[in-house]
Structure 1
Amino acid sequence: MYPNLYYVFKDFFGVEIGFLRFINSFGFFVAIAFLVAAAVLTSELKRKSKLGLFHPTEEKITVGKPATAFELILNFVLGFILGFKIVALFFLDAADTQDTQAYIFSGKGSWPIGLLVGALFAWIKWRDAKKQQLKNPEDRVIRVWPHDRVGEITIIALVVGLIGAKMFDIFENWSDFLKRPSEYIFSGGGLTFYGGLICSTIVIIWYARKHKFSVRHLADAIAPPLMIAYAIGRIGCQTAGDGDWGIYNNAYKVDASNKIVLAAPNDFSDSVNKHASFFSTHYENIQDVHHASFPKPAALSFLPNWFFAYNYPHNVNETGVPIAGCEGKYCNQLPIPVFPTPFYETLACTLLFFLLWAFRKRIQPAGGLFCLYLIVNGLERFFIEKIRVNNRLDIFGLHPTQAEVISAGLVITGVALWIFLRNKYHTTPQKL
Structure 2
Amino acid sequence: MYPNLYYAFKDLFGVNWNGLRFINSFGFFVALSFLAAAYVLTLELKRKERMGLLSFQEVKMVVGKQASMSELLLNFLLGFLLGYKIIGLFLSDSKATADPQQFIFSSEGNWPVGIALGVLFAGLKWWEKQKQKLDKPEERTIRIWPHDRVGDLVIYAALFGFLGAKIFHNLENWNDFKENPVEALLSFSGLTFYGGLITAAVAIWFYTRKHKISFRHLCDSMAPALILAYALGRIGCQVAGDGDWGILNSAYVTVPGNKSKVELVDSTRFQNTLQAHSSLYLRTFQVNNVSEIPHASVKAPGWLPNWLFAYSYPHNVVNEGAPIPGCTEEQFCNQLPIPVFPTPFYETVVSLLLFLFLWSLRKKMKVPGTLFGVYLIVNGIERFFVEKIRVNTKYDIFGFHPTQAEIIAVALIITGAAIYYFMKKKHMSKSDTAKV
Q: TM-score range by the shorter chain?
A: over 0.9
Which residue number corresponds to residue 367 of structure 2?
365
> Relative to structure 2, which stretch is displaced further, 329-338 or 264-273?
264-273
Counterpart of 1:291 in structure 2: which amino acid? H
Query: 1:55 & 1:181 partners in 2: Cα distance?
Result: 45
Which residue number corresponds to residue 291 of structure 1?
295
After superposition, the CA RMSD in angstroms is: 1.3
Instruction: List per-residue Cα deviations over 1:363-422 (Å, max 9, x = no partner).
Output: 241100000000000000000000000001121221100000000000001111111111
Counterpart of 1:89 in structure 2: which amino acid? L
Tell me, yes or no, if structure 1 residue 311 matches structure 2 residue 315: no
Which residue number corresponds to residue 383 of structure 1?
385
Query: 2:383 & 2:32 partners in 1: Cα distance?
Result: 22
Counterpart of 1:292 in structure 2: which amino acid? A
Per the normalisation by structure 1, the TM-score is 0.96
Per the normalisation by structure 2, the TM-score is 0.95
> Relative to structure 2, which stretch is displaced further, 106-115 or 353-362?
106-115
Report the alpha carbon displacement of residue 277 of structure 1 after superposing the two structures with TM. 3.1
Which residue number corresponds to residue 338 of structure 2?
336
Counterpart of 1:216 in structure 2: which amino acid? R
Any conservation in 1 of the 2:17–2:90 contact (CA below 8 Å)? no
Any conservation in 2 of the 1:61–1:141 contact (CA below 8 Å)? yes
Which residue number corresponds to residue 178 of structure 1?
178
Tell me, yes or no, if structure 1 residue 114 matches structure 2 residue 114: yes
Any conservation in 1 of the 2:22–2:89 contact (CA below 8 Å)? no
Tell me, yes or no, if structure 1 residue 326 matches structure 2 residue 327: yes
Query: 1:322 & 1:402 partners in 2: Cα distance?
Result: 31
% identity of equivalent residues: 56
**What secondary structure sits across from 2:139 in the alignment?**
strand
Instruction: List per-residue Cα deviations over 1:196-251 (Å, max 9, x = no partner).
Output: 00011111111112111211111100000000110010000000000110000101
Report the alpha carbon displacement of residue 127 of structure 1 after superposing the two structures with TM. 1.7
Report the alpha carbon displacement of residue 176 of structure 1 after superposing the two structures with TM. 2.5
**What secondary structure sits across from 1:411 in the alignment?**
helix
Tell me, yes or no, if structure 1 residue 408 matches structure 2 residue 410: yes
Query: 2:319 & 2:267 partners in 1: Cα distance?
Result: 28
Query: 1:184 & 1:90 partners in 2: Cα distance?
Result: 25
Query: 1:47 & 1:322 partners in 2: Cα distance?
Result: 53
Report the alpha carbon displacement of residue 180 of structure 1 after superposing the two structures with TM. 1.4
**What secondary structure sits across from 1:261 in the alignment?**
strand
Give the alignment of 1:15-34 within 5 angstroms: 15-34=15-34
The correspondence for 2:396, drawn from 385, 388, 394, is 394
Any conservation in 2 of the 1:364–1:422 contact (CA below 8 Å)? no
Instruction: List per-residue Cα deviations over 1:63-107 (Å, max 9, x = no partner).
Output: 111111211111111111101111213432222122112211211
Give the alignment of 1:183-222 within 5 angstroms: 183-222=183-222
Query: 1:133 & 1:41 partners in 2: Cα distance?
Result: 34
> Relative to structure 2, which stretch is displaced further, 110-119 or 323-332?
110-119
Query: 1:71 & 1:368 partners in 2: Cα distance?
Result: 43
Any conservation in 2 of the 1:235–1:346 contact (CA below 8 Å)? yes
Any conservation in 2 of the 1:249–1:293 contact (CA below 8 Å)? yes
Report the alpha carbon displacement of residue 13 of structure 1 after superposing the two structures with TM. 1.7
- Tell me how many residue pairs correspond in the alignment: 425
Query: 2:282 & 2:228 partners in 1: Cα distance?
Result: 38
Any conservation in 2 of the 1:3–1:330 contact (CA below 8 Å)? yes
Query: 2:282 & 2:213 partners in 1: Cα distance?
Result: 54
Query: 1:89 & 1:413 partners in 2: Cα distance?
Result: 45
Tell me, yes or no, if structure 1 residue 43 matches structure 2 residue 37: no
**What secondary structure sits across from 1:281 in the alignment?**
helix
Query: 2:48 & 2:230 partners in 1: Cα distance?
Result: 23
> Relative to structure 2, which stretch is displaced further, 288-297 or 276-285?
276-285
Any conservation in 1 of the 2:89–2:103 contact (CA below 8 Å)? no
Query: 2:147 & 2:276 partners in 1: Cα distance?
Result: 58
**What secondary structure sits across from 2:55 in the alignment?**
coil
Instruction: List per-residue Cα deviations over 1:337-384 (Å, max 9, x = no partner).
Output: 000000000000000001101111112411000000000000000000
Instruction: List per-residue Cα deviations over 1:10-40 (Å, max 9, x = no partner).
Output: 1112221111111111011111111111111
**What secondary structure sits across from 2:143 in the alignment?**
strand
